[in-house]
Amino acid sequence: MTITLKSPLDMHLHLRDGEMLEQIAKCSSDTFAGGLIMPNLVPPVTTLDELIAYKNRINKATNDNSFKPYMTLFYKPEYNYDFLKSFGDELTAVKLYPAGITTNSEGGLSGFDIEVMRGSLEAMSELGIPLCVHGETNGFVMDREAEFSSIYAKLATNFPKLKIIMEHITTKESVDLLNKFDNLYATITLHHLLITLDDVAGGMLRPHLFCKPIAKRPHDRDALLKVALDAHPKVMFGSDSAPHPKHAKEACGCAAGVFTAPIALIALVELFEKHDKLDNLERFLSANAINIYGITPLEKTITLEKTPYLVPEKFGDVVPMFAGEELSWSLTSITKGDNA
């Protein structure tokens, strides 16, 4: 049994920088046609020169391996129309982080004063630049995303022409928002389709499954599964694959992030086959993102077959999800198109 996927896209991807970028970039570029690259470096990407330089480092690390990095900017409320317009086609989206809420987000937004944000968000609306949001408050960890729902509603209502992407959603409340506001969309990760908090901390602590937003309850996972497996037109795959060296994960101050890039396609095929939804997988992996972002990805065809694959224990110094475990599908071939 085989399946062929055309131009799969990862619309929420952390590639880091420096040595880590060199270690893990090909884990994504080998199997995806492109990815939306997060800007939370140290320091974050906030200028055109920084964005282009980072893009060039990514292309070098992937050896231009038929992979297009879709670049993002770290949100600042002082961005104006002329500044954002100067990026031209180099900029795909702007990513908003609440201050201190996740890895390298210390320079993010403190407070959500609509009037403070109005100039930048109206400029983005005019220019057709989507706003990607890490939607969590600083409340109790299991309630942070649900508490952010009112902020999403405020943003969607005040800026109806702005495409707002709720990143890596984890709750039923976020799923419900998709049908309440025309301009709200979402990415969903592999790991949030598979695990709940019980998998992370219900028995022995599993640090390589610890992430932010933290995995939630079974009914939340079920809500995510339904819209993903049905390829709801307002959701798309975004791995939030977040590599950290093994010593930073297996530590007292465990770093947040699940590294799924090397196994994402394989595990998604396994999941969609299990639920008899393979016919919807390509829409979840590429067609929906193409429609939401208005992009034309590189032509790249990935073929997988139902043959067991043993997941390596490490990629460089990073432990992947399912390390040492066997998955039921394997990658067999990659075909690049004329525009790749």
CA gap 216, 189 in Å, rounded: 13
Instruction: Give CA separation, 210 vs 19, 96, 133, 260, 266, in Å.
Output: 23, 22, 20, 12, 21
Instruction: Give CA separation, 292 vs 126, 174, 326, in Å.
Output: 16, 18, 34
At residue 198, what are phi and psi to the nearest 5 degrees? -60, -35
Per the annotation, the verdict on 240 as an active-site residue is yes
Strands 235-237 and 9-13 turn out to be: unpaired
CB of 191 closer than 8 Å to CB of 206:
no
Report the chain's C-alpha Rg in angstroms.
19
Residue among 24, 17, 27, 88 at smallest CA distance from 57: 17
Question: Alpha helix locations (H) across the chain?
Answer: 18-29, 48-62, 81-85, 114-127, 144-147, 149-158, 172-177, 190-194, 197-201, 218-229, 246-249, 264-274, 278-282, 288-293
State the catalytic residue, choosing from 240, 276, 279, 317. 240
CB of 239 closer than 8 Å to CB of 289:
no
CA gap 256, 208 in Å, rounded: 8
DSSP state of 166: E
Instruction: Give CA separation, 139 vs 101, 142, 152, 177, 220, in Å.
Output: 10, 8, 16, 20, 18
Beta carbons within 8 Å of 202's beta carbon, 6+ residues apart: none
At residue 145, what are phi and psi to the nearest 5 degrees? -70, -45
**Tally of CB atoms within 10 A around 222:** 13
Q: What is the number of alpha carbons within 13 Å of residue 178 lying toward its C-beta? A: 25
Residues carrying an active site annotation: 240
